[in-house]
Structure 1
Amino acid sequence: MASPGLPLITTLPAELSMLSLQSIRDIALTVQRPGMASTESATVSKLLALPAELGNAIYRYTLCDDNNITLTRYNYKLPALLHACTRTRKEASATYDIENTFDIDTPGFDPTVMLRFERDAQQLVDLDDITYYTGSDASSGYYWDNLRRWLKAFLTARRLVSRIVKRGRGAPTPSRQRRSRL
């Protein structure tokens, strides 16, 4: 609440330049509010300041599960740690993607969850280690369109993985490969 003796400023004077406005924003960002950390300590996480070996151990402890992780249309979400910041996601996503075993529920050959998982998996995931559950309704014959989409997505991902593996073993880069016309 403003005090009665001070006028309430509702507009900025026209003579303020953009540089002045940026300076005001910078000052406002550095003001420490009660109960909040200063900007210096808030920008650098203590987790990211740890040695890599200790950070990886923490990632394994928080992200790895001894049981298979079942992904369905209703429960698919990345762990909260992967949403903390860009650097944490880059460092921890490999641990999550590679060191866990995923079961993907694909009722009626619906490829939705598989496509979301493959989009989010930033590291090489061995497609043979993923179990797909289609459920008992898969044989009813009403899911041919889903089956076609599922197979296309699966085979596209397998070709992508194959290209990555071949490139890593001394194969020529795509710019040097001879393109064939179909």
Structure 2
Amino acid sequence: YKDKEIWIIGNGPSLDDYPDDFFNNKIFIEINWPFAAFPPLEESQYILTTHIESPKYLIEHKSEFLKKSILGLPLLTGKNHWNIDSFGKYKDDPIYFQWHWVQGSHKLFLEYLKPTIQSIMNGKSCKYICLRTNIHYAIQIAVVLGARAVTLVGCEAKERKGYFPYKLL
């Protein structure tokens, strides 16, 4: 997708500002659950998550969507962890990435981000990082996919424990 615009779609209220067919023929990465409204039927549409619940749902109800999934490993919920083998016969379908969740300040996040960006720009493998939101992963992956521009829709984050992750985008 070199030099293309890639849209990142969350499930926030600004998503309602767009008509149902607006994202047709656009390249986009859906964060977690918007695939319920915008199914990834085209080659250029992807689902990204690091949570177990959405791939579990896809395996049971829409396994064809796993081929359009970008999954951060290990997938987590509490003490439950999934790795590639957890997908059984579907393990070759998703695209996987290694992730690192930075627990700390915005300053610490930026310290981790610098070498990650250098690795991405030099075509080297790395762990993608975030500070409290999968949107950070999606932005990094959009760059790897060749994005000229990244547009966020529905990516308003709610306050969690005094943090507003969208302010760090």
Between structure 1 and structure 2, the one with the greater Rg is 1
TM-score, normalised relative to structure 1: 0.23
Bigger share in strand: 2
The structure, 1 or 2, with the larger RCO (C-alpha pairs under 8 Å, 6+ apart) is: 2
